[in-house]
């Protein structure tokens, strides 16, 4: 009983720590999970490639909750390997949880897809429905969010990040209710600067973020209108200030991009360029960010989301 799956990292449009409303978009950076189930095992043992001392509780909870829900409570092993740097603001926890839940479904021979007949924002996802699965990707995503809450790696549950990682595209969510408010496909070039330090979401100063709630409401309004890139730039200025990160990398990028923001609870900064936006130049931003400590990575948005791996 083995299953493998991959899920996306993501960038931030709106950080949910101020109001519980959040927004994020999937990017072409993946985390893969391999799950082996053993009907005779009671426990789940996790391993994170290239990070032997990192906390494996999240992925172990994901397997345990998935086998309780869709299997017979099997134990086993789970191993992740990732191109998403851990605790850098690029939704490593959401990608790990989504990949692990889908890999567990694959190991259980439970089919996963997007069921037709959804309502509201979920109907937009259903537009891509091709089959009648046992489990929808949104159900799998919500299970990963429950595991993240139980493992204590999140402030709000981060359904915004998790839905962007699972479905791709850009999502706007209510994290208090784990509800999808809106989803759209975006087609952007993306530049990511990741400084060497790490910032765990569980350690973020939520009270400081709540101080900028009026700005978060404004960002949410822009996102509801589909003005995601503008929303993102406003978010970046507000949450860099609230969380104590320099706004300088975003400010120097701003004349050359469609949108730029501190991502998640930092420290990465993500800039996007809409190819139909004539004034943008991510190469120029790369020249500026290359002078900074850390790594600069070029990528793109993804609209397909997480998937079970079959080869
Ligand atoms: N590849 C992975 N495999 C297993 N667990 C992971 C992996 N990546 C992250 N995690 C879990 O997620 C925790 C980090 O979560 P955190 O929310 O702080 O990071 P993040 O999701 O990258 O940040 P942000 O929400 O700001 O984007 C780690 O301590 C670990 O428990
Ligand atoms: O832990 C959380 O609840 C979150 C962490 C960050 O990624 C935020 O960007 C997200 O909106 C919520």
Q: Which atom of ligand 1 is nearest to the CA of 148?
A: 12
Pocket of ligand 2 (CB under 6 A): 12, 15-17, 22, 154-158, 160-161, 201, 264-265
Residues 6 or more apart from 16 whose CB is under 8 A from it? 22, 155, 156, 158, 160, 173, 175
pLDDT in tens, 173-217: 999 999 999 999 999 999 999 999 999 999 999 999 999 999 999
pLDDT in tens, 17-70: 999 999 999 999 999 999 999 999 999 999 999 899 999 999 999 999 999 999
Among 77, 82, 95, 153, residue to substitute to test ligand 1 (most atoms within 8 Å of Cβ): 153
Residue 124 carries which DSSP code? Answer: H
Q: What's the gap between Cα 193 and its chain centre? A: 17
- Is residue 116 annotated as involved in ligand binding? no
The residue whose CA is least distant from atom 31 of ligand 1 is 55
Q: 225 CA to middle of ligand 1, Å?
A: 30
What does the alpha-carbon distance between residue 283 and residue 213 come to, in Å, rounded to a whole number?
Answer: 34
Name the burial class of residue 256, with classes exposed (0-12), middle (13-18) and buried (19+) by CB atoms within 10 angstroms of its CB. buried
Domain architecture of the chain: domains with CATH: 2-185 (3.30.230.10), 189-300 (3.30.70.890)
What does the alpha-carbon distance between residue 215 and residue 226 come to, in Å, rounded to a whole number?
Answer: 17
Cα dihedral 14, 265, 84, 249 in deg (nearest 10): 80
Q: Which residue has the higher pLDDT, 119 or 2?
A: 2
Q: Which atom of ligand 2 is nearest to the CA of 91?
A: 7
pLDDT at 278: 93
Question: pLDDT over 70 for what percent of the chain?
Answer: 95
State the ipTM, two decimals.
0.98
pTM of structure? 0.96
pLDDT at 311: 79
pLDDT in tens, 260-309: 999 999 999 999 999 999 999 999 999 999 999 999 999 999 999 999 99
Q: 91 CA to middle of ligand 1, Å?
A: 7
- In this model, does residue 125 exceed pLDDT 70? no
């Amino acid at each position: 009983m083995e299953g493998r799956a991959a899920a996306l990292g993501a960038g931030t449009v709106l950080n949910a720590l101020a109001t519980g409303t959040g927004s994020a978009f999937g990017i072409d950076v993946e985390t893969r999970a391999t799950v082996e189930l053993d009907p005779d095992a009671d426990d789940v043992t996790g391993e994170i490639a290239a990070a032997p001392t990192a906390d494996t509780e999240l992925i172990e909870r994901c397997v345990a909750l998935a086998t309780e829900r869709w299997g017979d409570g099997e134990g086993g092993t789970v191993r992740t390997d990732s191109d998403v740097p851990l605790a850098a603001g690029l939704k490593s926890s959401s990608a790990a949880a989504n990949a692990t839940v889908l890999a567990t479904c694959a190991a259980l021979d439970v089919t996963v897809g997007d069921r037709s007949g959804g309502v509201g924002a979920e109907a937009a996802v259903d537009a891509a429905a091709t089959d009648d699965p046992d489990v929808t990707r949104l159900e799998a995503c919500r299970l990963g969010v429950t595991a993240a809450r139980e493992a204590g790696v999140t402030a709000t549950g981060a359904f915004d990040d998790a839905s962007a990682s699972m479905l791709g595209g850009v999502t706007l969510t209510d994290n208090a209710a784990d509800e999808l408010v809106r989803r759209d496909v975006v087609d952007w070039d993306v530049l990511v600067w990741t400084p060497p330090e790490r910032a765990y979401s569980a350690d973020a100063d939520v009270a400081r973020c709540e101080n900028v709630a009026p700005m978060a409401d404004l960002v949410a309004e822009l996102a509801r209108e589909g003005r995601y890139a503008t929303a993102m730039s406003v978010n970046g200025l507000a949450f860099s200030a609230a969380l104590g990160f320099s706004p300088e990398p975003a400010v120097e990028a701003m004349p050359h991009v469609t949108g730029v923001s501190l991502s998640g609870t930092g420290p990465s900064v993500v800039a996007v360029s809409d190819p139909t936006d004539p004034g943008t130049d991510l190469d120029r931003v790369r020249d500026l960010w290359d002078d900074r400590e850390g790594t600069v990575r070029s990528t793109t948005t993804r609209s397909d989301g997480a998937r079970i791996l079959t080869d």
